[in-house]
Structure 1
């Protein structure tokens, strides 16, 4: 289980083919307490793809995201496999980033993504 960003980077590095990591930053709207649980809707804000070697820490990624928008509450993360020892390009990543946005907007099961909050805590989401 991925419990931290460093776990994620280690998992990406251990794959047989080079990886490109995909990040979807989202904001939470309408949060409130209902039966002791946070409720609300998630809206995609921005996407980026990076090679694991381009990432030093979660804090560095969060700071970079904050330079564009400080409105994000969660980041959804997926890995994209390369082939023949080469990582996928940013162009290869684009349709997968679009799929992440579509999954979030369509209310699809987001369990296949690692989700972290702004403090790098793993988040479990449930469909409303």
Structure 2
């Protein structure tokens, strides 16, 4: 069971094939046509839409802890509320390259935009896994 980013890194390092992580950082936003009820829920930290604002791929060694990711994300100037993570497995002892990650990362961003998030690990700004309903 993965409950935080550290668990994810440890699990990935224990895999037979080298891994590459795909990250999509999202900002929670309220649609312009939101009802009063939706606005109230959003103020309580519920509801809204998750809009991708940053996407990047990294090996577990390039992002060994969540603080490293947070620091790098700050350099973009983009605020975010949640990050979705997926892992790609390599082959023959070789980790996937950034070039190999481009298409899956693009597909991940589009999937999240459409609300299809069940295949990804959602983490809050502290690197803790969260359950989305």
Q: TM-score, normalised by structure 1?
A: 0.89
1:26 aligns with 2:34: no
Shift of 1:5: 0.8
Query: Runs of 4+ in structure 1 displaced over 2 angstroms?
Result: none
- Contact 2:5–2:129 (CA under 8 A) maintained in structure 1: no
- Corresponding residue pairs, total: 124
Give the structure with higher Rg (CA).
2
Shift of 1:121: 2.3
**Greater fraction strand:** 1
1:6 aligns with 2:6: yes
Shift of 1:70: 3.8
CA distance in 1, matches of 2:119, 2:94: 24
Shift of 1:3: 0.6
User: Which stretch shifts more, 64-73 or 86-95?
Assistant: 64-73
Instruction: Point out which structure has higher relative CO (alpha carbons under 8 A, 6+ apart).
Output: 2
Superposed, 1:1-128 pairs within 5 Å as: 1-30=1-30, 32-33=40-41, 38-108=46-116, 110-126=117-133
Gaps of 5+ in 2: 31-38
Gaps of 5+ in 1: none
CA distance in 2, matches of 1:20, 1:46: 17
Shift of 1:32: 4.2
CA distance in 1, matches of 2:40, 2:63: 34
Q: Deviations over 1:11-51 (max 9, x none)?
A: 111111000011000100026427x7711001010111011
Give the CA RMSD over aligned residues: 1.6
